[in-house]
Amino acid sequence: MTLVEDIVVKVLGHREYLSSLEEMRSFTSARNDDTPDELWIVEHPPVYTLGQGAAVPKIANGIPLVQSDRGGEITYHGPGQAVIYTLVDLARRGIKVKPFVHLLEQSVIDFLGANVITGERKSGMPGVYVGGAKIAALGIRVRRGRAYHGVALNVDMDLSPFSAIDPCGFPGLAVTQMKDLGFKDSLEETAKKLAGHIIRNLEDA
């Protein structure tokens, strides 16, 4: 049995979506049975990303639309959103795909709970919601038992680009963010705290 090493957390700052995608693919292709898992904390410039099989919408606000290889539908990334890419060897940890998605959702719910905010799941609608509004989206891709992509938490951002799409494929879905719930930590501190919950849940899995 391969020893599961400590998880490496990297704060990478502002990154273009496509370059981040290529870096995730390269990391996943190059890793071996001894490569430690990593969490990458990034913030993207405005971009819409399409999951595999998602319908291509007509968008006229000038924000680029990029095809991704993750699961799920369309979503928006932009400044003020904490994105954590979870480069995790699921096979080595003995975690199946659906339990991993549940683990990431639970990590967000745990983080919100630690800040006296009640987060919840919605049946058939991956992600985490507060009062019916989506606060965190997630989507992953698994290649040879190794996951990449991850979770995006709305912290302090312009939410208006969400109105040009059906977030995650659901027309009229409301979105919210940490700032509107009275949370004042910086994006980096928020992401680091969420990463801590992901690590604890992975260690307990």
User: What gap in Å lies between CA 45 and CA 55, rounded to an integer?
Assistant: 22
Whether 172 is a known active-site residue: answer: no
- Secondary-structure breakdown of the chain: helix, strand, coil percentages, each rounded to the nearest 5: 30, 30, 40
At 29, give phi and psi (nearest 5°).
-70, -35
Single out the catalytic residue among 41, 168, 175, 187.
168
Dump the DSSP string for 162-193: GGGS-GGG-TT--B--TGGGT----HHHHHHH
Beta bridge partners of 147: 88, 142
User: What gap in Å lies between CA 204 and CA 95, rounded to an integer?
Assistant: 11
User: What gap in Å lies between CA 139 and CA 81, rounded to an integer?
Assistant: 15
Q: List, by residue number, the catalytic residues.
A: 168
